[in-house]
């Protein structure tokens, strides 16, 4: 499968623990996005990378959240001191930016449950 | 502020019925519009997109959407739905950084 892959698919953690998710984008894509989706809502933008540079963060991304894309390939999203409100599906998407046209390809997501 | 509004939360249709899902957007710049579909247990997949040109866009699986600039709308249509179209449908507008701003989604249930 040459699509966007995310690991793990599911994560259950206790409140206060740290968790880390990984995203492997489509190999030739230069942009990588993280979104969060809660029940009954559409995906909400968190942050994105152009190659290894993190170019924008949403106000949804509190200081407990950090994302990296160290070599411009895979990315990690870490949540420190998890809270019950962090329970959500975390989606990764990648795209190849050509002019102003963008088409993002999504992974299957990591479902986080904080108990 | 950029936003996308989808009018219907849950739509229930019988097979062969026609479908129209509403989407309105609020965005001040050049508009890139998308419809994504999420089948049960699967990832979001692109159905169709509008960047410029012909405002009637045809996508996969017989879906189409019409961009009406004066109404800030990008409604999704299909003349005859099938049971396999049961899914959640998301309208999105492309933001200034290439990110997507999604609506809340519409669940479509098609009865066989």
Q: pLDDT digits over B42-56, tens only?
A: 999 999 999 889 999
A49-76: pLDDT as tens digits? 999 999 988 888 899 999 999 888 999 9
A42 CB neighbours in chain B (<8 A) are: 4, 90, 92, 102-105
Banded pLDDT at A99 (limits 50, 70, 90): low
The pLDDT of residue B27 is above 90: no
Q: What was the pLDDT predicted at B30? A: 78
Residue A74's nearest CA partner among A14, A108, A36, A26 is A26
Pick from B43, B94, B105: CB nearest A106: B43
Strand order in the sheet with A5-7: A5-7, A19-24, A75-79, A65-68
**CA angle, B53 then B4 then A66, to 5°:** 110
CA–CA separation, A16 and A82 (whole Å): 5
Q: What was the pLDDT predicted at A96? A: 86
A-B contacts (CB, under 8 Å): 61
Q: What was the pLDDT predicted at A101? A: 61
Q: What was the pLDDT predicted at A21? A: 98
CA–CA separation, A67 and A69 (whole Å): 7
Share of chain A above pLDDT 90, in %: 74
User: By the 8 A CB rule, do A72 and A52 touch?
Assistant: yes
């Amino acid at each position: 499968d040459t699509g966007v892959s995310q690991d793990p698919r599911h994560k259950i953690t206790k409140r206060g623990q740290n968790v880390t998710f990984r995203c492997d984008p489509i190999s030739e894509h230069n942009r990588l996005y993280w979104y969060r989706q809660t029940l009954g809502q559409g995906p909400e933008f968190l942050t994105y990378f152009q190659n290894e540079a993190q170019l924008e963060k949403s106000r949804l991304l509190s200081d407990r959240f950090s994302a990296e894309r160290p070599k411009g390939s895979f990315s990690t999203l870490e949540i420190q001191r998890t809270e019950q409100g962090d329970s959500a599906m975390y989606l990764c998407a990648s795209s190849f930016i050509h002019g102003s046209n963008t088409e993002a390809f999504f992974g299957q997501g990591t479902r986080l449950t904080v108990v | 502020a950029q936003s996308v509004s989808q009018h219907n939360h849950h739509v229930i249709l019988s097979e062969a019925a026609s479908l129209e899902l509403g989407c309105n957007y609020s965005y001040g710049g050049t508009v890139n519009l998308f419809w994504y579909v999420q089948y049960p247990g699967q990832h979001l997949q692109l159905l169709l997109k509008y960047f410029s040109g012909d405002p009637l866009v045809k996508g996969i699986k017989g879906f189409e959407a019409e961009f009406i600039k004066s109404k800030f709308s990008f409604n999704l249509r299909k003349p005859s739905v099938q049971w396999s179209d049961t899914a959640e449908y998301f309208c999105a507008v492309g933001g200034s950084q290439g990110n997507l701003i999604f609506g809340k989604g519409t669940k479509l249930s098609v009865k066989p």
